[in-house]
């Protein structure tokens, strides 16, 4: 594990070599990384599709709340839990000012 914690002030982004991919044969979205692949459910796909390396996690959460008309607490909890797992696996990176994180 990286030890880096997901925070709303961080800017989440996909590191070099990691990308979203549309598997047209199976009709699913997949997160591809070197020697790894993760099938995404609709929630994971919605979250990762919003990561642009420019917006903070708080901005991503607001966008998802608006799009799905869901309570901010629910969206925030789901997003933090999902992204923390990907951060721990080094499939999502965080640029955080308070942690001296790198720029995307």
| Domain range annotation of the chain | 12-93
DSSP state letter for 17: T
What are the tens digits of pLDDT across the range 7-39? Answer: 999 999 999 999 999 989 988 999 999 999 999
Across the range 30-53, mean pLDDT stands at 95
Are 6 and 80 spatial neighbours (Cβ–Cβ below 8 Å)? yes
How high is the pLDDT of residue 100? 46
Cα(first)–Cα(last) distance of the chain, in Å? Answer: 20
CATH architecture of 12-93: Orthogonal Bundle (1.10)
The residue to which tokens 């997949």 are assigned: 30
Q: What is the pLDDT of residues 91-100, one digit of tens each?
A: 999 999 754 4
């Amino acid at each position: 594990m990286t030890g880096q914690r997901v925070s709303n002030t961080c800017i989440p982004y996909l590191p070099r070599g990691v990308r979203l991919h549309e598997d047209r044969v199976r009709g699913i979205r997949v997160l591809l990384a070197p020697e790894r692949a993760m099938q995404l459910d609709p929630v994971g796909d919605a979250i990762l599709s919003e990561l642009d390396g420019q917006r903070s996690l708080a901005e991503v959460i607001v966008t998802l709340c608006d799009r799905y008309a869901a309570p901010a607490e629910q969206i925030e909890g789901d997003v933090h839990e999902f992204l923390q797992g990907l951060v721990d696996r080094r499939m999502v990176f965080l640029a955080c000012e308070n942690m001296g994180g790198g720029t995307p």
